Structure 1
Amino acid sequence: MSKTHNKYLFKPTALAISLLLPLSAYADETQPAAQAKAVELETVNVISKRDNKNLIGRTYGYQATESNTATKTQIPLNQTARSVSVITRQQIEDQRPATISESLNYSAGAFTGLVGAATRYDYVAMRGFNENMTDNILVDGQKLLSDSNTYSSMQIDPYFIERVDMLKGPASAVYGRATPGGVVAATTKRPLHDSYHEINLFGGSREHLGVSFDLTDNLNESGNAAYRLTGLFKRSDSQNEGHKSQRFAIMPSVSWNITPDTHLLLQSYIQNDPDAGYHSGLPAEGMVYPKNGFTFPRSFSDSEPSDYFKRRQNLYSYQLTHQFNPNWQVQSKFRYAEVHTRNQQTWNVGWADDQNLARSGGKTVEHLRSYAGDNHIKGHFETGALKHELIAGVDYQQRKTTADAAYNFSSIPLLNVYQPVYSSSQPVFNDYASNQTYRLKQLGIYLQDQIRLGNWIVNGGLRHDRVDTTATDNNSGSVSKWKGGKTTWQTSALYAFENGISPYLSYSTGFNPNTYVDQSGNLLEPTTSRQWETGIKYQPAGTLDLYTLSVYDLRQDNVANRVINGNYYIPAGSIKSRGVELEAKSQITPNWFLQGALTYNHARFADNSGAEAELNGKTPYQAPKWMASLWTNYKFDTGLNVHAGVRHISGIWADHRNTVKLPSYTLVDLGVRYDLGRLVPSLQGLQTSISVNNLFNRRYVSSCAGIDYCYYGEGRNVLANVSYRW
């Protein structure tokens, strides 16, 4: 990265720190002084501020009671006839995930260990499905529009996120194209129209160092305009020797209540990743089981010192909301995003002999530009005894990715695993030149009606999409296209008993047009999916506790499997996934919180023919059969918070043909947070915390994407943080 870039990216941080120094210190609202101030406010305001019902405001504690991810309309979770998990800001701060996907570690139905300790992308598999796993992230209700067919996938740092909602199962009736496992919806931090400031200094294992700040306040005395400026710098070494990660990011935003009924939000997110860490896999023979007594150390790297991955991304958006009257509202959203990536990587392609790995390499320069707009109207009305909540809208998504690549499949030196010697010269990539342009356009029209009749809640949604995808070989001029329409729908029914028990039944369909090509360069047919889900939700009266039991039957057709060494895809019939999920969040006592999750998933291939017929009845790789987790937090009256968790994963196959099964693993996480202001009043607003992931440094293989590409999970990771809030 050039000195010019360094200078530019450090300016926001220096400005924020200079702003911090002269400001008067206000008491943190969690401190006694702030509590005393809160007593003077009207009771209704205090309750409204801290009950997590404002889906775009601050979240408090671990429990959320409402979400709009399943229907685009705000509804209590215990009245939502789909399985939805919510991760609040407090949970993110205590667990310290490196990526948005890692924030789902303690949620039912989500598997985040697809590439082990690598943190370059937000990989997440839901309900046994892992393809397009970087392209199912929503940010503020809109698809992030990453391209999982290339290296051009965007990533938002968890520090900029207020909450994460995970909707499980097909979501195309709401969001258009989507993979069958579900969507992960992140909500960014917004201006609060209230004074809040924080600065953090943190450091830990593997030379991890960083600083972050979060500043928000009113811009004028009337309070109808507010700003928020959030920034971050961090760096760390990778678990694999010779690699590191580095990130600069800043997110300014302005909120303006133009009139009492009209609100405008302007946001931008600018991120530069000069280094993005190690991202490769190693053979199962040597990781899952020894090869002639040899086992790869966790720090082993099959990449060259000259390898790199650099990413710059910019996102700019607006959200305009107008309330016509108490019952009708219109909202318009638009986002422009672009990402530039430069990547050079060497990777293993299997054992050449008993001591050496064979390797290949590639070099790419990519540029992705995308536009996403969503305009809808929603309203409440009644027809006799029926109470309706209607939403109707149209959205448009467009993405263009150019990928200029070259490869070396013949002259990368072998790597001796006992005495690795890396090359000091720059490899030549001239075996195969690839210059591709991928385009995707999608126009969707959707209508949904949620009807209440007494304790019954019935939902019906219908959406039609027109999609145009092309893959252009810029060297040969050949173009492969798919153009067509698809109608998807969902329906559900839930009965909310007065005692807090809510049984439900839902059916949903999905589709996802491919930008994947086969060996001849032709686009594969779009995948389609459908799911039945039934379950019971229970929220005891007068509490925020929520217990959810869900049972699902999910099927995807026209599945695409990647041939890794060939860098193309082949059709693989269908995948059937059936399972049971149990999730519970409970405030046992005012000071003790407990969260648990249990997942059973049985996924298998079906309807394959020809050479792939042997896959029928087999389980896809990276689809665990069992996942279980337990997380707890205890808050002492002295200002000390102790939190701990345990995670268990089992039943993962290394390959589609199920020839190697990975050992199960159990991980323990631990952390403490202390409010120093409770100990020394003059330190009011100062907090310190330590989080330890994989406390016992368990060595494990988290998953494999085939026999030659297995991934070690992250070893013990300690991160300490000191924050000052006022």
Structure 2
Amino acid sequence: MFQPSRLSRAVALFVLGLSASANAVADDTTRLDALTVTATKGATKTETPVVETPQSVSVIESEDWQEKGAESVQRAANYTPGVGTNQIGSSNRYDYLILRGFSSGSINNTFLDGLKVMNDGGSFSSFAIDPWFLDRIEIVKGPTSVLYGRSSPGGIVALTSKRPEYEFGGEVRARLGNNAQREFAFDVTGPVDDDQRVAYRLTGILSAADAQQDFVEEERRAIAPSLMWDITDDTSLTLLAYLQSDPEGGYHSGLPYEGTVVPRNGRKIDNTFFEGEPDYKRFSRDMAMVGYDLEHQLNSQWSVTQKFRHLSSDVKLQQVYAFGWASDTELLRFYSAAEEDLEAVTVDNQVKGHLAIGAVDHTLLVGLDYQQRRNDVVWPRGAFPAIDAFNPQYGAEPTALSGPSRNLREVSQTGLYLQDQMAIGGWRLNLGGRYDWVDIENTNRDTNAAAELDETQFSGRAGLLYYFDNGIAPYASYSTSFSPNAFRNADGNLIEPSEGRQIETGLKYQPVGSRDLYTLSLFRIHQENLATKLPQEPFYRAIGEIQSQGLELEAKTQVSENLGLQVGYAYTDVMFEKSEAYREGNDASQVPKHQVTAWADYRFTEGALNGASAGLGVRHMADIWADDANTRQVPDYTLVDLALGYDFRHVGLPGVSARLNVNNLLDKEYVASCFNSTNFCYFGAERNVTATASYRF
């Protein structure tokens, strides 16, 4: 169990870094290039510095996750407090990100360039964009429905894609690693014409690897062409496309608590064990996204923007999965398959402006957005023979297959929103409101029976911050969210959406003249209208309630010209206030109550090691329940990561660099989390070693 002394050490380390930064900022100006840019659009959809935003926001730059060797969006957030990245253990199929303890919907809280195009909750048709195509990641913690509509009360993950630039440049990268990892990636951008009115960018990647589990592979091919055209001095148009094919989607399954966390009759299952069938394993995902960003500057103060994306996706799945023990050594198995055809459209229209009324400066944002998703799904299922978990023999066939269920899932959302960011002296007041019209219809293709939801919803946010001249900024805020439920009531219709509200207060500090950033936040989130099934009732009611409260500390600082430090701590307490009897009053599973992370990076600038760099990180997770009944726990675990790099410009090869990353350096075998019934526990990733060579030009 986590000891109170660990919290004291985490706070002490945070304060120590704060002091070090304050002492160093007066005489250290060369360090700025190595640090994080702290402006955000995720929380406000405007260019607002994080230190002046009255809500907790963590920004992860591409250089940061590349240094740590992160190969997915969820791994890029490994060192961000308040974010759980191990919900499904070693699986890389989707980007699961638990924000402030809300594991439900954690696959459904990602936005790309401010638009919800990537996810379809309740189906297999979400896709994971490779971080190679991204410029940065912003994690906005707490409700954000005021700008984005339906979303988790834990927050959102706002991804920003790479864009064309008018200066020629690019990068090629090759990577090799254990488990047959191999990758080639390229990125090139520059002007098309001499007048620099048109610029292009072409980014692509080919990657493949064996998964940790036997017989399973991961494979990806993706390319993203884009073109930016400055039609006039005031009008610009950016055309974007993203094509991705994942012929092999890797592993995505779990195993019982007995045999993984604790022995089963004195024996444990190997963390490379594959409980499925080689002839019945498939996950292929093909998607294409096209769209544009059109922006017109009306004058020096006002602009209008329209963003549009169209997404089509095709997913095919075959999977044999385990569900509990059939005997002392054999696992029960079932068969699941899917064919899904998703079409989605989303558009966001914005008017932004600045005006002064008396002593108050206003930054106004008015928006009208619309999104529509249509997913045609076919889900066969059936039974499969059991398998010996300790001496597996493969080659079985299904013992029974049931006719597939055919469903049409349709979602549309229209939202009208308004935000006013006011500044007077050091005061920053943020007020926002949004009204949504949501229409959801799930139709059984075989019976034509439909479950419907036609709902309107208001969301709001109010935040107040004072920015002192020395860079200290205390703040407080209140915000709300809503998220549709996927369960039916007694009438056969979808139950009303769940609603979330958060109170947050905190302190931010950015030393003047630096890019160091320190944040402390205290929050309480209350979510109601959760789907709950009462005893003896075959339907759900929207009567559940859950509360998440906690503390988060985050520090990013350049202690000296050579040494950078990133430290984080999160205390997250998530409790079911009203729910089914077995979990009412209990803590939620899969959520570490205590999370401590630290990463130190040292760059050598003199002597024989000039050009070399070394990074060392530690991640510690503690107090994780394996079930909502709170009868079993996942053991605490600590992981160590290592990075070694060298910049060859110091030996006459400018632009050439190499890096060695070892994640889970000590090759710790651990269970990352367990889901509720404890029939689904997920092994964490084993030691991962990659060597990367790149050339920037």
Give the TM interval when normalised to the shorter protein: over 0.9
**Number of aligned positions between the proteins:** 659
Q: Which residue of 2 aligns with 1:323?
A: 297
**Which stretch of structure 1 is more off in the superposition, 131-140 or 567-576?**
567-576
> 5+ unaligned residues in a row in structure 1: which ranges?
1-46, 52-59
Q: Which residue of 2 aligns with 1:406?
A: 380
Residue 621 (str. 1) matches residue 594 (str. 2)? no
Counterpart selection for 1:123 from 96, 117, 131? 96
Change (3 A) 1:510 1:263: same
Q: Report if aligned partners of 2:112, 2:118 keep a CA contact under 8 Å in 1.
A: no
Instruction: Give the secondary-structure state (helix, strand or coil) at the position aligned to 2:121.
Output: coil
CA RMSD in angstroms comes to 1.8
Q: Which residue of 2 aligns with 1:687?
A: 657
Matches for 1:336-355 after TM superposition, within 5 Å:
336-355=310-329
Counterpart selection for 2:338 from 350, 355, 364? 364
Q: Which residue type is aligned with residue 241 of structure 2? A: S
Q: Which residue type is aligned with residue 124 of structure 1? A: L
Change (3 A) 1:196 1:517: farther
Instruction: Give the secondary-structure state (helix, strand or coil) at the position aligned to 1:101.
Output: helix
Counterpart selection for 2:501 from 524, 530, 550? 530
Q: Distance in 1 between matches of 2:517 and 2:339?
A: 47
Q: Which residue type is aligned with residue 259 of structure 2? A: G
Q: Which residue type is aligned with residue 415 of structure 1? A: I
The offset of 1:61, in angstroms, is 3.4
Q: Report if aligned partners of 1:281, 1:711 keep a CA contact under 8 Å in 2.
A: yes
Q: Which residue of 1 aligns with 2:261?
A: 288
The offset of 1:560, in angstroms, is 3.7
Instruction: Give the secondary-structure state (helix, strand or coil) at the position aligned to 2:240.
Output: strand
Q: Report if aligned partners of 1:62, 1:90 keep a CA contact under 8 Å in 2.
A: no
The offset of 1:494, in angstroms, is 0.3
The offset of 1:420, in angstroms, is 0.6
Q: Which residue of 1 aligns with 2:8?
A: none
Instruction: Give the secondary-structure state (helix, strand or coil) at the position aligned to 1:536.
Output: strand
Residue 387 (str. 1) matches residue 361 (str. 2)? yes
Q: Distance in 1 between matches of 2:425 and 2:335?
A: 63
Residue 168 (str. 1) matches residue 138 (str. 2)? no
**Which stretch of structure 1 is more off in the superposition, 95-104 or 72-81?**
95-104
Matches for 1:152-191 after TM superposition, within 5 Å:
152-191=125-164
Q: Which residue of 2 aligns with 1:17?
A: none
Q: Distance in 2 between matches of 1:644 and 1:192?
A: 33
Q: Which residue of 2 aligns with 1:472?
A: 443
**Which stretch of structure 1 is more off in the superposition, 552-561 or 473-482?**
552-561
Change (3 A) 1:450 1:694: same
Q: Which residue type is aligned with residue 360 of structure 1? A: F
Matches for 1:189-338 after TM superposition, within 5 Å:
189-306=162-279, 307-338=281-312
Q: Report if aligned partners of 1:470, 1:515 keep a CA contact under 8 Å in 2.
A: no
Q: Which residue type is aligned with residue 386 of structure 1? A: V
Instruction: Give the secondary-structure state (helix, strand or coil) at the position aligned to 1:317.
Output: strand
Q: Distance in 2 between matches of 1:523 and 1:675?
A: 57
Q: Which residue of 2 aligns with 1:544?
A: 515
Q: Which residue of 2 aligns with 1:663?
A: 635
* C-alpha distance after superposition, 1:108-166 (max 9, x if no partner): 11001000000000111011101111211111111124112011111110111110000
Q: Distance in 2 between matches of 1:520 and 1:354?
A: 43
Q: Report if aligned partners of 2:83, 2:100 keep a CA contact under 8 Å in 1.
A: yes
The offset of 1:256, in angstroms, is 1.0
Q: Which residue of 2 aligns with 1:699?
A: 669
Q: Distance in 2 between matches of 1:256 and 1:128?
A: 43
Q: Which residue of 1 aligns with 2:624?
A: 652
Q: Which residue type is aligned with residue 621 of structure 2? A: I
The offset of 1:518, in angstroms, is 6.8
Q: Which residue of 1 aligns with 2:87?
A: 114
Q: Distance in 2 between matches of 1:304 and 1:721?
A: 33
Counterpart selection for 2:433 from 458, 462, 465? 462
* C-alpha distance after superposition, 1:558-577 (max 9, x if no partner): 224799xxx99876711101
Q: Which residue of 2 aligns with 1:634?
A: 602
**Which stretch of structure 1 is more off in the superposition, 367-376 or 431-440?**
431-440
Residue 415 (str. 1) matches residue 387 (str. 2)? yes
The offset of 1:614, in angstroms, is 3.1
Q: Report if aligned partners of 1:138, 1:183 keep a CA contact under 8 Å in 2.
A: yes
Q: Distance in 1 between matches of 2:203 and 2:684?
A: 30
The offset of 1:548, in angstroms, is 0.3
Q: Distance in 2 between matches of 1:116 and 1:602?
A: 21
The TM-score, its normalising length taken from structure 2, stands at 0.92
Q: Report if aligned partners of 1:202, 1:210 keep a CA contact under 8 Å in 2.
A: yes
* C-alpha distance after superposition, 1:312-347 (max 9, x if no partner): 011111001111111101110000011100000011
**Structure having greater relative contact order (Cα 8 Å, sep ≥ 6):** 2
Instruction: Give the secondary-structure state (helix, strand or coil) at the position aligned to 1:302.
Output: coil
Residue 132 (str. 1) matches residue 109 (str. 2)? no
Q: Report if aligned partners of 1:470, 1:481 keep a CA contact under 8 Å in 2.
A: yes
Instruction: Give the secondary-structure state (helix, strand or coil) at the position aligned to 1:618.
Output: coil
Q: Which residue of 1 aligns with 2:17?
A: none
Q: Distance in 1 between matches of 2:378 and 2:371?
A: 23
Change (3 A) 1:201 1:145: closer
Q: Which residue of 1 aligns with 2:682?
A: 711
Q: Which residue type is aligned with residue 659 of structure 1? A: T
The offset of 1:75, in angstroms, is 1.0
Change (3 A) 1:320 1:575: same
The offset of 1:177, in angstroms, is 0.6
Counterpart selection for 1:589 from 548, 560, 565? 560
The offset of 1:355, in angstroms, is 1.1
The offset of 1:98, in angstroms, is 2.3
The offset of 1:517, in angstroms, is 4.5
Q: Distance in 2 between matches of 1:215 and 1:561?
A: 51
Q: Distance in 1 between matches of 2:502 and 2:66?
A: 34
Residue 82 (str. 1) matches residue 55 (str. 2)? yes
Q: Distance in 1 between matches of 2:690 and 2:424?
A: 51
Q: Which residue of 2 aligns with 1:5?
A: none
Q: Distance in 2 between matches of 1:392 and 1:109?
A: 30
The offset of 1:357, in angstroms, is 0.4
Q: Distance in 2 between matches of 1:432 and 1:350?
A: 24
Change (3 A) 1:99 1:354: same
Q: Report if aligned partners of 2:554, 2:568 keep a CA contact under 8 Å in 1.
A: yes
Q: Distance in 1 between matches of 2:289 and 2:490?
A: 34
Same amino acid, percent of matched pairs: 39
Change (3 A) 1:93 1:649: same
Q: Which residue of 1 aligns with 2:401?
A: 430
Q: Report if aligned partners of 1:633, 1:641 keep a CA contact under 8 Å in 2.
A: yes
Q: Distance in 2 between matches of 1:678 and 1:516?
A: 61
Q: Report if aligned partners of 2:569, 2:596 keep a CA contact under 8 Å in 1.
A: yes
Q: Which residue type is aligned with residue 185 of structure 2? A: S
> 5+ unaligned residues in a row in structure 2: which ranges?
1-28
Q: Which residue type is aligned with residue 460 of structure 2? A: W
**Which stretch of structure 1 is more off in the superposition, 527-536 or 509-518?**
509-518
Q: Distance in 2 between matches of 1:194 and 1:353?
A: 65
Change (3 A) 1:519 1:380: same
Change (3 A) 1:195 1:568: farther
Instruction: Give the secondary-structure state (helix, strand or coil) at the position aligned to 1:371.
Output: strand
The offset of 1:543, in angstroms, is 1.4
Q: Report if aligned partners of 1:62, 1:91 keep a CA contact under 8 Å in 2.
A: no
Change (3 A) 1:487 1:572: closer
Q: Report if aligned partners of 1:438, 1:515 keep a CA contact under 8 Å in 2.
A: no
Q: Report if aligned partners of 2:118, 2:128 keep a CA contact under 8 Å in 1.
A: no
Q: Report if aligned partners of 1:144, 1:154 keep a CA contact under 8 Å in 2.
A: no
Q: Distance in 2 between matches of 1:569 and 1:275?
A: 36
Instruction: Give the secondary-structure state (helix, strand or coil) at the position aligned to 1:413.
Output: strand
Q: Which residue type is aligned with residue 523 of structure 1? A: L
